[in-house]
Structure 1
Amino acid sequence: MPKGFESLPIEARVPKPRERSLVVTIDWGLGLAEQADLLRTAGEYVDLAKIAVGVSRLLDVDLLRDKIALYRQHEVVAFPGGQFLEYALAQDAEDVFLEEARESGYEAIEVSDNLIEISLSDKTALIARAVQEFGLRVLGEAGKKEGMSHAVSLVDDARACLASGAWKVMLEAADVFPTGQEPQAAVERLLAQGLQPAEAIFELPGHWIPGTIYADPPHIYRQLLAAVGPEVNVANILPDRVIEYETVRCGIGVNAAHGVRIRRQRQALRTEQ
């Protein structure tokens, strides 16, 4: 469908299904009408939708299935938040969780160890089982919530998740963007350690991380664009900010000068190739 002001050129979006420049929105229990409105307005810019934490447990099963199906109609992959699986793990109910996830219509899950202590070998074994036995696409997660202990480095954690069959790895915001550190510098350190941007999805911090204010996620998003480029994969974008963030990515947002720089970088890269 034609867009407004099409005579003004902007960078074209990679068509779905995408492997890069992924956008993961976070759904805290959107009603179907609100979800449909979001997808009609911004669905082409969203690749995945995390139905946060244990929200899936509170919804009528038919409503949950309808939500997942509606996302699928717009080529958006829905998945339950990783902390919900952690809740199941704490009760030795991971098999029940994986089976019910599949029965509910989920085609993907997140495997994290934010708040529970499990070994890396147990986490990677669970990823492998979810992929091989249950046919689910897995988003691993590397990193811990603030205050939790770290047995391995973030990059080694991410590599282990990918080696066990994870499609991509979510990077815990509290670990990647610690308080008091400049986001761009933090990301560049990870890249220097061998992190591959195409395999990682950077989580933006939200209200659930102490000290986060409304202005923090957009600032960090711009820093991610500066460190990685416009094909960076980003998660935890609130539904009402998807379009706002997309304007920044394609250089027509608040920081439009950044968009000019992105276009020049891309043109230079194409010339080199």
Structure 2
Amino acid sequence: MLENYALSKVPERTKKPRQTGFTMVMDKGSSLREAADLIETCGEYVDIIKLGWATSYVFPKLKEKIDLYQSAGIPVYLGGTLFEAFVIRDQFEDYRKVLDKYGLKYAEVSDGSITLDHDRKCEYIRQLSGQVTVLSEVGSKDAAKIIPPYKWIEQMQTELDAGAWKVIGEAREGGNVGLFRDSGEVRQGLVEEILTKIPFERIIWEAPQKTQQVWFIKLLGANVNLGNIAPQEVIPLETIRLGLRGDTFDHFLSQF
């Protein structure tokens, strides 16, 4: 971690390649110049880039962007909605060819926008895990669809058993579905119940809003895995992780 000067009583952060303290950044169509700026200013804090939903389908310089991130040691994967778009069109094998075409080492398997039999979802995970590292997303993008905690736990565990490296708790880029109420408030009971069965290091919590990031960091510490972070929020998030922003300023001092 870059440190411009010495400061005591700062939480220790994990080093790349991280298993915990993971920051997944959402690229919603950044230009090549913006991607280069992200790498220059905060590449040290970015563990993986998600090209949101199906933006990769229409972005004009896709290979150049992927190569740019990967040359900086930052893996890239395509949003789960794109996986679903291929699956619903019965083009799963075409999706696998896209992963190979662009030299992608990660893929997301999700069913947030389509209805997919869970056994079939796990079979997709098994097949893809022989090709790439799989992140599987649990939860619906439909705010009206409330999944009970036991179902979250059951699906997370079976997807990990099927070969997923980590499971992602759904929140969308707005942070107002899945793990959260439409107001953005964390479904606290849901999260705490999930954590009784699923190890925290195997979960990436989508938390695009600052209040959500603060909540998870206070609950699970500086090295909680967080996702759907906007590029301009990477450095602010790092200061929250380190207790160097008002939201967590006192939280970590008492631990030293």
Task: Compute the TM-score of the two structures, normalised by the length of structure 2.
Answer: 0.89
Q: Which residue of 1 aligns with 2:174?
A: none
Match of 2:192 in 1: 188
Residue aligned with 1:153, SS: helix
Per mean C-alpha deviation after superposition, the further-off stretch among 181-190 and 83-92 is 181-190
Higher helix share: 1
Name the amino acid aligned to 2:84.
Answer: E
Give the CA deviation at 1:33: 1.1
Q: Quote how far apart the aligned CAs of 1:65 are.
A: 1.8
Q: Give the corresponding residue for 1:176.
A: 179
Alignment partner for residue 223 of structure 2, among 206, 231, 235? 231
Q: For residue 30 of structure 2, give the secondary structure of its aligned residue in structure 1.
A: coil
Mean CA deviation greater in 144-153 or 26-35:
144-153
Distance 1:149 1:7, change over 3 A: closer
Q: Is the 8 A contact 2:139 2:170 kept in 1?
A: yes
Q: Secondary structure at the match of 1:175?
A: coil
Q: Does the 8 Å CA contact 1:138/1:168 hold for their aligned counterparts?
A: yes
RMSD over aligned CA atoms reads 2.0
The residue aligned with 2:137 is: 141
Amino acid at match of 1:144: S
Among 252, 255, 258, the alignment partner of 2:244 is 252
1:121 match? 119
TM-superposed deviation, 1:153:
0.6
Match of 2:84 in 1: 86
> Aligned with 1:11: secondary structure?
coil
8 Å Cα contact 1:184-1:223 kept in structure 2: no
- CA gap 1:179/1:190 in 2 versus in 1, 3 angstroms: farther
The DSSP-based 3-state class of the residue aligned with 1:53 is coil
The unaligned stretches of length 5 or more in structure 1 are 206-216, 268-273
> Could you tell me how far apart the structure 2 residues matched to 1:2 and 1:58 are?
35
Find the partner of 2:153 among 128, 152, 155: 155
Q: Which runs of 5+ in 2 are unaligned?
A: 172-176
Q: Secondary structure at the match of 1:69?
A: helix
Which of 71, 84, 104 is residue 69 of structure 2 equivalent to? 71
| Change over 3 Å in CA distance of 1:149–1:264 after alignment to 2 | closer
Deviations 1:16-46 (A, max 9, x none): 1100010001001111111111111111101
Question: Normalized against structure 1, the TM-score is what?
Answer: 0.84
Supply the distance in 2 between the matched residues of 1:168 and 1:113 (Cα, whole angstroms): 16
1:202 partnered with 2:205: yes
1:53 Cα deviation (Å)?
Answer: 0.9
Give, in angstroms, the shift of residue 104 of structure 1: 1.1
Identity value in percent: 29
The 1:253/1:89 distance shift into structure 2, 3 A limit, reads same
Letter in 1 for 2:195: L
- What SS is found at the alignment partner of 1:76? coil
TM-aligned CA deviation for residue 226 of structure 1 = 1.7
Instruction: Using the TM superposition, give the Cα deviation of residue 227 of structure 1 relative to its aligned residue in structure 2, in angstroms.
Output: 1.7
